[in-house]
Structure 1
Amino acid sequence: MAIKFENITLYTGTGKKFTNSAIIVQDDKIIASGDEALQQEAAETIDGSGKTVLPGFFDMHVHLGMDGIADPFSQVETDTQATSAYRHQVNAIKQLQSGVTSVRNLGSKWHIDLSYRDAVNSGLLSGPTVYGSGQPIVMTGGHGYPLATEADGVDEIRKVARQTLKQGADVLKLMATGGVMTPGVDPGSPQLSEKEMQAAIEEATHAGKTTASHAQGTIGIQNAVRAGITTIEHGIFLDDKTIELMIKHGTVLVPTLAAPYYIVQNANTGGIPPHAIKKAVACFTAHKESFNKAVKAGVKIASGTDAGTPFNLHGDFAKELELMHEGGMTILDIITAATYDAAAVLNVQDTVGSLEKGKAADFILLNEDPENTIQAFRNIDSVYKGGKLVHDQRNRKFVHSY
């Protein structure tokens, strides 16, 4: 049955905005939007006066196996496989309730994100669409090793890449530098080499998959970009040369501004490992400055939170959008980065990521227009995935759809 939402403000996700507009969905697809939808009738019409409709958000960097506790690696190291699987489901539902209908999970021990993805896709569980990396690939003792696969040298990296793809990974995650959360490593120091990453990226490309690199320090970012990485995660120390290199190669930045923000904001609450606080504080200002420079230069941006890191909770996607706005992005560009451009990173932009005829009916209704107030991203009326109502904020109800 076709359902028409009319009298709405409509953001398509492709940089366009319409007022007093409409959208028509049938089953799991959009059959008309904008002027075309205004001219068509539907079996059911819903008056959306005062509502704003956006494509469902993509959070391009999450860890569903971590809750955002003060020391999430301790959680990873003590969870059983079953507990971790339950945790994935609980956190994924929080994402869905915040308007995130698709997540790119960049690191789960035992490749549990891939099993969770399959459970959602088969209808066994309700949740957002999941694109998973399984266990990240790191050098021995590299950043994130508690939930990763360690390997050294081109041949070992190539074999692990093939093994991870065999497990069904949608994306390979590689650690190009040290990071904040792992003790004994420096965020600015290179880890996997350009040649090592190139071997993994080559395997991913052969399999039709994409890649992502945790990359905070300048040299490591440059190594990853030259190796052909799809996205740079974090990008804390970006200089002009690195930004030019990213633009030349078409590399996308997933900034995860919320990750250091929440560590710094909660530094005195106790529980966050001291090494993480020290490194986050040292990186905080540089991260904001790097993001602002990247935006001004025209680097392609896709939204991602790094949800699961300390105090960076699943379901708080709006904070990342607010920080992106503070960093110089317009509301229209933020919406595109969180929808169509994110889908394009995953090569699924032809089927999802914008409110256009023939695409998946993943969309959200807000009670306000984000161009009037940034707080609108938090004021969710309802969430639809595959044309079905999955969250009704008015009644504070999560709707399971099997």
Structure 2
Amino acid sequence: MNVKLTNVRIITFHGEEVIEKGEVLFNEKGILGVGQQLGEGDSAIQEIDGTGMTLLPGLMDSHVHLGMDASPDPFASMKDEGPEEIALKAVQQGYQFLKAGITSVRNLGTRYNVDISYRNSVSSGAIVGPRVFAAGRPIVMTGGHGHVMAIEADGCDEVRKAARTQLKAGADLLKVMATGGVLTKGNEPGATQFSEEELRCVCQEAENASKTTAAHTIGTEGIKNAIRAGVTTIEHAYLLDEEAVELMLKKGTYLVPTLLAPRLILDKPGTVPDYMINKVKKIINDHKVSFQMAYKAGVPIAAGTDAGTPFNVPGLLVDELALMIEYGMTSFEAIYSATLGAARAIKMERELGSIQKGKIADLVVVKGNPLEDIECLREPVYVFANGRLVHQNTSHKKEELTV
């Protein structure tokens, strides 16, 4: 069935275009039309009056961990779980993402490649969930950050084998750990792990297969190793310096800052392990400075939450965007980082990220105007994925959809 939204504000992300009291016609094949007025309706179209509401592209969380339980010590929980338990968590989390208007997620590490299986089940229609761009198991050095869910490899030969193993398994992108991390006991967050040469080997394998790459990075040298090696996105980047920012600009490297994740850890003293608290305290102020440095320099940014880390439950993307705004972004820029900016980071901008004729109908309708108040995004009225209604806020009684 065709659906037409009328009298709705449309943030198209086609340039800076915002259409007031516009219309969008769509179905499961995609967006059929966008404009001020699309013509007369007919019996084959279900119309929804969007007065007082805003339509925008479905949101994308560019850094999540499906199946990681957001407990105080997620790696400790994960190491004792089988693939079935992790898969069940992923299915439950998928519903939470959709409820929050997040129609796509980029998954950057899950044990047993559960995210790849989950993606396939969503794609086939076996289950309802967000569109998934899956990395499967990350690639780490022996004993490296996140080794509980990863492929451990050392030296270019092993790293290439690991990369090819993940590509064979169906990974959409490859995730590597270029430095230590907060959640892994015994790892120093700023410590360099993979060498530039090892990282380059992963990037070459991804490029050969027309795939993208993402690198977990905290320390400055590890960040620069990853950028020089050719990774597509730098994750976290707590300790940027001017040289790193210049390299990112030169190579077109994206930043996914995940500003929210360490804040949630610090908010729970006495709950998460002390070693995590101590690590975060040393670097959290640098994280803000690094983000602001990159933003002011014009580094392209995609929004991600690191969902699955302590107390970082699915659906907190609005909190991440609010921090970006607090640290200097405009509301338009912040939402762009979770729509077209995120799509560009994974080379999917021809299909996702803006409201244009011919694109996939991943759409979110919210009350009010999120360009004036980002909190408007917190409780979507309608969420459509592939043109199908996947969530409706039942407290909103103006239109009851049957599609």
Fold-level match, TM-score > 0.5?
Answer: yes
- Counterpart of 2:162 in structure 1 is 160
How far 1:164 sits from its partner (Å)? 0.8
> Structure 2 CA distance, aligned partners of 1:248 and 1:380?
38
Q: What is the root-mean-square deviation in Å for CA atoms of aligned residues?
A: 1.7
Q: Is the CA contact 1:98–1:378 (under 8 Å) kept in the aligned structure 2?
A: yes
Per-residue CA deviation, residues 332-388 of structure 1 (Å, 9 max, x unaligned), is 111211011111122211112111000111010111111221211213111111111
SS of the counterpart of 1:199? helix
Structure 1 residue corresponding to 2:50, chosen from 48, 51, 69 = 48
2:23 matches 1:26: no
> Structure 2 CA distance, aligned partners of 1:349 and 1:198?
25
Which stretches of structure 1, 4 residues or longer, exceed 2 Å deviation after superposition? 13-16, 39-45, 394-397
- Counterpart of 1:217 in structure 2 is 219
SS of the counterpart of 1:113? helix
1:280-291 alignment to 2 at 5 Å?
A: 280-291=280-291
How far 1:200 sits from its partner (Å)? 0.8
2:175 matches 1:176: no
Q: Is the CA contact 1:258–1:305 (under 8 Å) kept in the aligned structure 2?
A: yes
Per-residue CA deviation, residues 279-334 of structure 1 (Å, 9 max, x unaligned), is 11111111011111111110000010000101111122211111111111111111
- One-letter amino acid of the counterpart of residue 274, structure 1: D
2:146 matches 1:149: no
How far 1:84 sits from its partner (Å)? 0.6
SS of the counterpart of 2:381? strand
Structure 1, unmatched stretches of 5+, are none
- Counterpart of 1:332 in structure 2 is 332
> Structure 1 CA distance, aligned partners of 2:23 and 2:11?
11
- One-letter amino acid of the counterpart of residue 7, structure 1: N
1:99-248 alignment to 2 at 5 Å?
A: 99-248=101-250
- One-letter amino acid of the counterpart of residue 23, structure 1: V
> Structure 1 CA distance, aligned partners of 2:309 and 2:396?
26
> Structure 1 CA distance, aligned partners of 2:234 and 2:193?
14
TM-score computed with the length of structure 2 as normaliser: 0.95
- Counterpart of 2:345 in structure 1 is 345
- The answer to which of 348-357 and 47-56 deviates more is 348-357
SS of the counterpart of 1:334? helix
> Structure 1 CA distance, aligned partners of 2:58 and 2:342?
11
- One-letter amino acid of the counterpart of residue 276, structure 1: M
Q: Is the CA contact 1:67–1:91 (under 8 Å) kept in the aligned structure 2?
A: no
- Counterpart of 1:11 in structure 2 is 11
- Counterpart of 2:38 in structure 1 is 39
How far 1:188 sits from its partner (Å)? 1.1
Q: Is the CA contact 2:140–2:147 (under 8 Å) kept in the aligned structure 1?
A: yes
SS of the counterpart of 2:121? helix
Q: Is the CA contact 1:177–1:191 (under 8 Å) kept in the aligned structure 2?
A: yes
- The answer to which of 209-218 and 1-10 deviates more is 1-10
- Counterpart of 1:301 in structure 2 is 301
1:271-282 alignment to 2 at 5 Å?
A: 271-282=271-282
> Structure 1 CA distance, aligned partners of 2:323 and 2:169?
35
> Structure 2 CA distance, aligned partners of 1:51 and 1:129?
24
> Structure 1 CA distance, aligned partners of 2:351 and 2:40?
24
Per-residue CA deviation, residues 43-87 of structure 1 (Å, 9 max, x unaligned), is 332210000011001101001111211111111111111111101
SS of the counterpart of 1:131? strand
- Counterpart of 2:76 in structure 1 is 74
How many residues end up aligned between the 2 structures?
A: 396
SS of the counterpart of 1:380? coil
How far 1:395 sits from its partner (Å)? 4.5
1:378-393 alignment to 2 at 5 Å?
A: 378-393=378-393
> Structure 1 CA distance, aligned partners of 2:381 and 2:224?
42
2:60 matches 1:58: yes
TM-score computed with the length of structure 1 as normaliser: 0.96
> Structure 2 CA distance, aligned partners of 1:209 and 1:272?
35
> Structure 2 CA distance, aligned partners of 1:395 and 1:128?
23
- Counterpart of 1:366 in structure 2 is 366
Q: Is the CA contact 1:133–1:172 (under 8 Å) kept in the aligned structure 2?
A: yes
SS of the counterpart of 1:263? helix
Q: Is the CA contact 2:9–2:54 (under 8 Å) kept in the aligned structure 1?
A: yes
